[in-house]
Structures are given as C-alpha cells and as structure tokens.
Structure 1
C-alpha cells in the first residue's frame, strides 16, 4: 500500500480527505517515484496523476520548510492550470510549514522575484516564466530535489519546449517526473537530455 509508506503528515491529511485506497496508477507510480528515479508517468485522465504529483513532492520535501530556495518545481501549461494546482496543493500543505508559490506570465516578473526571495519550498510555474526568472537571477536552482511537469503534452509548443531545455541545462542534479496521458515523441526525446536512465510507469 503506497499510502502506508508516506510521511505521517501526508497520511493524516489523506485520512482527513477520506482518501484511503490508492488508484492502480498510484500503486504503480508512487514507489518508483519515491525511489528517486527519473520517471515518465503515463495514464488516462482521472487516474490520480495530479494527486500523485502532490504526494510525492511533499514526501520528497519531508513536509517541512527548509532554507529559502525552491526544492521542488512543478511546470504547467498556463496561468489557469498553475492557479488550480496551487489551490489543490494548499489543501495538502495547510498543516505543515511548506511554502508554495505560484508564478505565471501575467504576474510582473519583479513582483515574482521579490516574493520568491522571501523564501519558498515549492514553485508552480510555466516554463516561459520560470526561464525568465532564471535568466534574470530571480531564481536559484541549486537546492532542487524534484522537478515535475503536469500534463506534459503542452511541451510540443516550441516556446515551452525551448524554455524547458534552457532551464534543465542549468540544473546540476535533480529527479525529473513527467506526467502525461500518453507517451508523446517530443517527451521521449528528453531521454537524451535530462531524463537519462528514466523509468516508464503506465496504466
């Protein structure tokens, strides 16, 4: 049972939310992600991918705030998805010290830089915005432990793809987890770059 081996804080939260049984996808993916491997997670909609992303991020960061630079990054397609994921994350982080921050194109980059400077643990952003933060010295990636991409099919867009390649070329050591409905040829291409020795979990 993957949930039984998660941090006590996470287990308490799942109990509060009355989530007791993992989906087949969660049973397959959580142990592999917890192992620290780079993982391509492919499963249809409503398989529990987003919940898996949140649980494994909290697990990796041990449900507690540390330092000021982000230790987890989650990239999404656009502002709407960023804000929706942020709201869902807050449900799980309400009773621990983790600091979640959301950034997107429409929010002025200087505002984002000053707020991130105050200290964050988890950054939810779009590739273009994160790359802009990075290029303007508004973001340190030196402490990154886990880098996830939700609904990664959007990386077929040239601007998102190029921004991601720019960011990952500067990240020295980190676990990458990509979530998508199915394996797209563009995603497979990342094996030659930052997804080396990756595993595939599919449902």
Structure 2
C-alpha cells in the first residue's frame, strides 16, 4: 500500500539550470527552449525527478510544469528497441495539452535522441497504430484514445518506467479516474510516477494516493492563488447588455491577442458570429470542433491571423499561448478554480496581463465563490461608462467581504427562480428566464390541478416547448454573421499605459 505523501520539500531556487545536474544534451535543449533560469516548480521538481522518487507537484498555470517533468525524465530515460516501448508515458486530459507537450518534447528529443508518439482523439486511428507498431521511447496520450488502442491490442504499457499524470485535477473533473486506474494497471508497479496538477486538493489526494509510493510533495502556490502578474477587474451589467458590451470592450481596449471564455459550445459559436459582424476577426474553440479545427484556430491565433479566440473551458488549463493581451470572462465559470485557470492564460512566464469578468445578477454568487477562494475582492472596471451601458446594477455590492458565508446551492436555486419570476412579471425575461418560470409554474399546476398546461405555457410531457421565432436569430441573420469576415487593426499606440491607468 502506498504511503501518504511526504511533507512539502524545500529546495533552494538556483539561478541557472546547470546547478540542477542536467546533462549537457538536455542543457542544450534548455537553450533552444529559451529558458533563462528555472521557475520555482522546475527548481524543486527536477532534482526530485532525477533522484528517481515519485513526485506530487502543484503549481499555478504558466509556471513551466511541462518542462519540469520532461527535462529530467528524458535525461534519465533509456532507449527502446525497435518495435517496443514506450518507456515513458504522459497522460493529459485534452488534445491541446498533448500537442503542447509534444512541442516541448520534440525540442528535447532532438538532443537526447528519443522518439515520441502522440495519441489523441479527433483524428484517424491508422497513423497512430502504425506509429505504435514501430515503437517509441515517449508516448503522450489523452485517456480516451489510449484506452481505445489498449482495448484493440495496439498499445503495450508493460515497459513503462516513468508515468506522468499531467493536470491530474482536471482529469478528475472530467471523469477520467476509471480510465486512469485502468492505464496505471497496465504499467509495471516498479515505475516512477510523477503527478502534476494546479492544486493538490483533498479530491486529488484521495483519488491518487494508491498510484504513488512515498512521493516528494511540492506545492509552489496554495489552492486558490491567482497569478500575481494578472490585474483583475469585474464589470457588473445586465444580461441583456452582455452581447453589446463585448465588441465595444474589444474596440475600446484593443482586440489583438484576446481570449474570451464563455459557457457552452453554442454560445461560443454565437459570439463569434456577433464579433465577425462587428468587424473583429475571431475563431471558436470548443469540444464540438475536430482536432484539426481546434489546432488550426490555435495556430491562426498564435500567428496573428485572428485577433480573438472564443473558447469554452477546454482551453482554460495548461495551454501556453504567449503574449495574450488580456482575458474576458463573458460568463463567470461555475467552478471557482476554473476562474483562476482562465485568467492564467495571460500574464504567463513573468509577463504582465489583465482580465475582466462580466457579472450579471445571476452570476454574482459565482463571482463571490472565486473571490472567497482567492481571499480578496476584485475591483470594478472603471471604464464601464465608455461602453454605453445603461442598465442599473443595484444588486452589485462594492464593499464585499471575501470571507462572508454564501448561500448553498439549494438556496441559490430558489433565489434564481425568484429573480426570474420577478423579471417575467416585469416583461423583461430572457428566453432562459422564461423557461425557468415555466418550470416553476409547471410544478405548481401539477400540484394544484388548475387549468390546462398549454394555457400556462408549460411543456407537454415528452415534447420540448418551442421558442418563438422572435427570440432567436433567423437563418439569414446567421448567414450574414458568418459571412462577414472583415477585420480592423488598432495601432500599437492606441492603447497602453493610458489604458491601464484608466482601468484603475
């Protein structure tokens, strides 16, 4: 039985990679990667990995965790014979993370002579089967595709010497724990296990304790710590103002190299249509896009062909996109930790950045959850009047207490229904609001037996309620939105120091 994790280790932060006892070949790879000095997680993890012990490490996003496990692991890894391997396996939750790990590993492998293979979903099986048949030293894989190829007999993990579980907390959130345990079962018990995560929460520790043996535990930042290089702001507004506020904000602050996060795949596509109509070049990235489409969007964004990425939380963890100007949370995430991961897409590798979060009355308590996790109140964006927002926000409290006890989920649901009923009575309810009210009316009509259901706007059993044509854009409007691909560029001098001071 695996022992409980040891207490956090403390290693002095060296000024260069040479003092970490890496080989000359790997040090050449460090130069090619452009690293000047090791980050805190690299300074502590590299000696631990080189010593051969298991490691459990937690650090903020953008702190170099990928290199922290690849550099020492590949330095001490042997070479597989032709048709055999892998000797090292990295399991990561998303295709984008797998691609990013492959990009870093390819630089290191050029100097160490190792061969890497990547297994992800969204692409054909045959090239991956052929690659596995030839053999490899390093295998980078998402859980689903690796399980598929294990079941088909094309993947053999019996020679794995080093197993890396990357973004372990995210894999647990995505429900991969059974797949992870199946994968681990296929590897030798004598392996070295490296677990890297944004947090070492109780959930992570309880679900992974049996996977590691007497690990060195490294925690660079406590749970709920946002990057210090990111300035944060909130913009309180009414739900009806959000769609108009986004393009206005992008034109006010500059739209180049901006990531917009939202809830839901359809909303991401809808926002892209609205931004294109406003003359802003953008691309969506979410789970319904194929791997090639997602990778194409990322490449276009990196190369400056599109200014704005509109993404769901598929992009929130671990993706390293340099020089992101700022992040917009169009919707407040339902999980407080996701807020920290989202804003961590900017202000990476010591660079400065900022993030702004749109907050409606229905999002307010989710914002409070994020503030409570961080232990601080996020200041209000001071240029809201320049966006032409007219709706009042009496529900928004400036003097918030981040330690205040918040209502539980049951109480929040009741409060949301009350707000929806009030808006419906005032004739200001949105389509989503009307559905909430219909549901509450439906429960009341069933218990009281008063009147036919259709007369009260309640869904009939087995049939979804139709949304009126007036509440959704027409197909012609959608076509017009998709077809408008004009773009505008702001001059570098249009924003900068004056913008930052104005926000404050």
Residue 395 (structure 2) aligns with: none
Matched, 1:66 2:80: yes
- 1:184 matched to 2:201: yes
SS at match of 1:22: coil
* Equivalent in the alignment of 2:57: 41
Q: What residue in structure 1 maps to residue 17 of structure 2?
A: 3
Summarize the alignment of residues 1-203 of structure 1 with structure 2, pairs less than 5 Å apart: 1=14, 3-4=17-18, 5-61=21-77, 65-67=79-81, 68-157=84-173, 159-172=175-188, 173-203=190-220
Distance 1:36 1:96, change over 3 A: closer
TM-align CA RMSD: 2.0
Q: Which whole-Å CA distance do the structure 2 matches of 1:17 and 1:158 have between them?
A: 31
What is the TM-score normalised by the length of structure 1? 0.89
Q: Provide the rounded CA distance (Å) in 2 between the counterparts of 1:192 and 1:111.
A: 35
Structure with larger RCO (C-alpha < 8 A, sep 6+): 1
Deviation by residue 1:150-199 (Cα, 9 ceiling, x = unmatched):
22222224642111111112222211111111112332124542213222
* Residues 119 and 128, structure 2, Cα contact 8 Å, conserved in 1: yes
C-alpha displacement of 1:200: 0.7
- How far has the Cα of 1:124 moved from its partner? 0.7
Q: Which runs of 5+ in 1 are unaligned?
A: none
Report how far residue 47 of structure 1 moved.
2.0
3-state SS of the aligned residue for 1:32? helix
Contact 2:45/2:69, CA 8 A, preserved across alignment: no
Is the partner of 2:72 in helix, strand or coil? helix
Q: Distance in 2 between matches of 1:170 and 1:200?
A: 25
Q: Secondary structure at the match of 2:130?
A: helix
Compared with structure 1, are the counterparts of its residues 28 and 186 closer, same or farther at alpha carbon in structure 2 (3 Å cutoff)? same
Indicate if the aligned counterparts of 2:159 and 2:187 stay in contact, CA closer than 8 A.
no
2:149, 2:135 → 1: CA distance? Answer: 15
Superimposed CA distance per residue, residues 101-151 of structure 1 (whole angstroms, 9 cap, x where no aligned partner)? 111122333432222111111111111211222222211112111111222
Instruction: Count the aligned residue pairs.
Output: 201
Aligned-residue offset at 1:85 = 1.7
What's the CA shift for 1:83?
A: 1.4
Which has the larger Rg? 2
CA distance in 2, matches of 1:192, 1:152: 12
TM-score by length of 2: 0.38
